[in-house]
């Protein structure tokens, strides 16, 4: 980790927490920079319960009975990966996770992973959080592990009143101490960093907010203090701060966290606000997917499966860019016409795809899907099957959807007792190892076997 804008000699006495973070993060990597190791499918659990933490909206959210954010896309991609290998793994409905920031004797972080009710926790969980202590005084790293392909890196920002942000902006805040009173939640990586020896030189007025008997939720207390002026700012990961700014607070599952309107509509802002700028002298927060670590549990197989999914470009590149853009609270205003043009073009392409789809269904499908007339040899039948896939793609249908539709069509004919098509499918299945056959065609045949309830040869 790099500590920005501070001379090395000032940090000889950094707390053991920071050293633990260095050791832990040194073993991690970003998905885009390394190919995932193959995973042993036979070692995976027969049921995988995914929990999604909902404190940062774009990372994980549950609204209007619908899951959204990076974690929803990651979870769906994981299910597709498992399905592509014909693995029979049960995925129950996602579990929403809301960390209740209580005192150490009743702290809820990673409860699901430690109790065995959750197999994968996706959310704004930093690798450094594993150096924190659980309710029994153990480091979380003793019972929790993480997939080494990290999905995002961010930093710490402040939620504060606009006038205080203006005052800070006019100061030399990157090199001089920030004397504003900053509130931070106890038992978090942010509190550990801001109170570390050496770092306190730059943040001399930090208040660590813990739960009380009267109010069992520390986050509730901290935001009360911010609104009353008892603290000048609230510190947390950038996307957690952005969620408070744009969406406010929803009532927590145990009713200890009260509802609050978006802070951005009430005279508050985010500091620093420039893209890529965070509070100086602090280590970055590197987010990872968390899994249980206990004797007899297939931790390594699950981590390799997660790394395989995180290696997909739509997750490790597209989503990372989307998360980076979402941190900017001042998007360029002159781009509104471009956004409108993009929307219009998107609607035009969507309309074209719908029309093409209807033409395909009404006129083309019956004559082009006569699988019984295709060759028994997959190397010869592969070309007309690939042509069906290519035609769907030209009509605006995604590759995965095209593969699924054609496989479903074959399976329907088999289930209608079309013996010729069933015979073709069984013969095609014998050539799945042929390297001359494209992966898309192989995926069609594999999925058709699965949907037809016929074991592949």
Cβ–Cβ < 8 Å for 444, 404? no
Task: Flag the least confident range among 49-58, 158-167, 345-354.
Answer: 345-354
Cβ–Cβ < 8 Å for 153, 1? no
The pLDDT assigned to 231 comes to 98
- Please state whether beta strands 144-146 and 290-292 pair in parallel, antiparallel, or not at all (unpaired): antiparallel
* Residues of the chain above pLDDT 90, percent: 46
Over its C-alpha atoms, the chain yields an Rg (Å, rounded) of 26
Q: How many C-beta neighbours within 10 Å does residue 325 have?
A: 11
Residue entry with tokens 């994981």:
78
Letter string b/e over residues 250-281, b meaning 16 or more CB atoms within 10 A of that residue's CB: bebeeebbeebeebbeeebbbbbbeeeebbbb
Domains belonging to the chain, first-starting first, are 8-153+284-333 (3.40.190.10), 155-271 (3.40.190.10), 369-452 (no CATH)
Task: Flag the least confident range among 86-90, 156-160, 224-228, 318-322.
Answer: 318-322
Segment 189-233, tens digit of pLDDT: 999 999 998 899 999 999 999 888 777 788 999 999 999 999 999
Task: At 400, give phi and psi (nearest 5°).
Answer: -60, -40
The pLDDT assigned to 35 comes to 66
Q: How many C-beta neighbours within 10 Å does residue 452 have?
A: 21
The pLDDT assigned to 356 comes to 65
Longest dimension (CA), the chain: 80
Residue of 383, 38, 61, 111 lying closest to 243 (CA atoms): 61
Q: How many C-beta neighbours within 10 Å does residue 8 have?
A: 7
Residue entry with tokens 């080494």:
148
Three-state SS annotation for the chain: CCCCCCCHHHHCCCCHHHHHHHHHHHCCEEHHHCCCCCCCHHHCCCECCEEEECCCCCCCEEECCEEECHHHHHHHHHHHHHHHCCCCCECCCCEEECCCCCCHHHCCCCHHHHHCCCCEEECCCEHHHHHCECCCCCEHHHCEEECCEECEEECEEEEEEHHHHHHHHCCCCCCCCCCCCEEEECCCHHHHHHCCCCHHHCCCCEEEECCCCCCCCHHHHHHHHHHHCCCCEEEEEHHHHHHHHHHCECCCCCCCCCCECCHHHCCEEEECCCCCCCCCCCCCEEECCEEECCCCCCHHHHHHHHHHHHCCHHHHHHHHHHHHHHCCCCCCHHHHHHHHHHHHHHHHHHHHHHHHHHHHHHHHHHHHCCHHHCCCCHHHHHHHHHHHHHHHHHCCCCHHHHHHHHHHHHHHHHHCCCHHHHHHHHHHHCCCCCCCCCHHHHHHHHHHHHHHCCCCC
Residue 443 token pair: 């995926």
Phi-psi region of 117 (alpha: psi -120 to 50; beta: other; left: phi over 0): alpha
Q: Which residues lie across from 296 on neighbouring strands?
A: none
Of how many residues is the chain composed?
457
The pLDDT assigned to 416 comes to 83
Segment 415-455, tens digit of pLDDT: 888 888 888 888 888 888 888 888 999 899 889 888 888 88
Burial (CB < 10 A; 0-12, 13-18, 19+), residue 78, is: buried
The Cα 270–Cα 162 span in angstroms is 8
Q: How many C-beta neighbours within 10 Å does residue 29 have?
A: 13
The Cα 428–Cα 375 span in angstroms is 9
Cβ partners under 8 Å of residue 57, min gap 6: 69, 239, 242, 243, 246, 247
The pLDDT assigned to 138 comes to 92
Q: Is the pLDDT of residue 399 over 70?
A: yes
- CA distances for 361 relative to 387, 395, 445, angstroms: 16, 11, 22
Burial (CB < 10 A; 0-12, 13-18, 19+), residue 432, is: middle
Segment 356-367, tens digit of pLDDT: 666 655 554 433
Q: Provide the CB-side half-sphere exposure for 333 (13 A, CA).
A: 1
pLDDT band at 99 (very low <50, low <70, confident <90, very high): low
The pLDDT assigned to 360 comes to 55
């Amino acid at each position: 980790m790099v500590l920005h804008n501070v001379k090395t000699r000032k940090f000889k006495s950094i707390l053991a927490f920071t050293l633990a973070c260095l050791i832990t993060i040194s073993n991690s990597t970003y998905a885009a920079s390394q190919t995932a190791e193959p995973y042993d499918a036979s070692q995976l659990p027969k049921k995988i319960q995914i929990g999604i933490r909902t404190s940062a909206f774009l990372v994980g959210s549950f609204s209007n009975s619908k899951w959204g954010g990076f974690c929803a896309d990651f979870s769906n991609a994981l299910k597709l990966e498992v399905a592509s290998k014909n693995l029979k793994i049960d995925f129950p409905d996602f579990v929403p996770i809301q960390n209740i920031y209580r005192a150490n004797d009743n702290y809820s972080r990673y409860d699901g992973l430690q109790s065995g009710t959750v197999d994968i926790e996706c959310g704004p969980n930093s690798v450094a959080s594993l150096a924190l202590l659980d309710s029994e005084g153990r480091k979380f790293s003793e019972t929790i592990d993480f997939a080494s392909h990290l999905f995002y890196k961010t930093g710490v920002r402040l939620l504060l009143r606009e006038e205080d942000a203006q005052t800070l902006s006019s100061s030399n805040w990157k090199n001089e101490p920030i004397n504003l009173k900053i509130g931070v939640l106890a038992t978090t990586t942010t509190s550990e960093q801001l109170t570390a020896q050496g770092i306190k030189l730059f943040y001399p007025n930090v208040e660590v907010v813990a739960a009380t008997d009267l109010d069992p939720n520390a986050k509730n207390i901290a935001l009360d203090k911010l609104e009353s002026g008892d603290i000048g700012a609230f510190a947390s990961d950038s996307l957690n701060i952005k969620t408070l700014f744009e969406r406010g607070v929803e009532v927590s599952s145990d009713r200890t966290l009260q509802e609050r309107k978006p802070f951005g509509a009430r005279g508050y802002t985010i500091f620093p606000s420039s893209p890529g700028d965070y509070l100086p002298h602090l280590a970055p927060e590197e987010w990872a997917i968390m899994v249980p670590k206990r004797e007899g549990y297939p931790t390594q197989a699950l981590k390799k499966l997660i790394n395989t999914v995180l290696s997909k470009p739509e997750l490790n590149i597209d989503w990372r860019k989307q998360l980076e853009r979402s941190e900017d609270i001042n998007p360029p205003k002159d781009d509104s016409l471009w956004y409108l043009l993009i929307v219009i073009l998107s609607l035009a392409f969507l309309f074209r795809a719908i029309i093409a789809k209807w033409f395909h269904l009404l006129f083309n499908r019956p004559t082009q899907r006569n699988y019984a007339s295709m060759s028994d040899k997959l190397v010869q039948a592969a070309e007309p099957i690939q042509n069906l896939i290519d035609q769907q793609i030209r009509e605006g249908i995604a590759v995965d959807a095209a593969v699924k539709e054609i496989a479903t069509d074959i399976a329907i004919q088999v289930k209608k007792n079309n013996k010729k098509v069933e015979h073709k499918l069984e013969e095609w299945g014998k050539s799945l190892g042929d390297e001359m056959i494209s992966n898309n065609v192989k995926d069609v045949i594999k999925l058709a076997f699965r949907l037809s309830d016929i074991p592949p040869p």
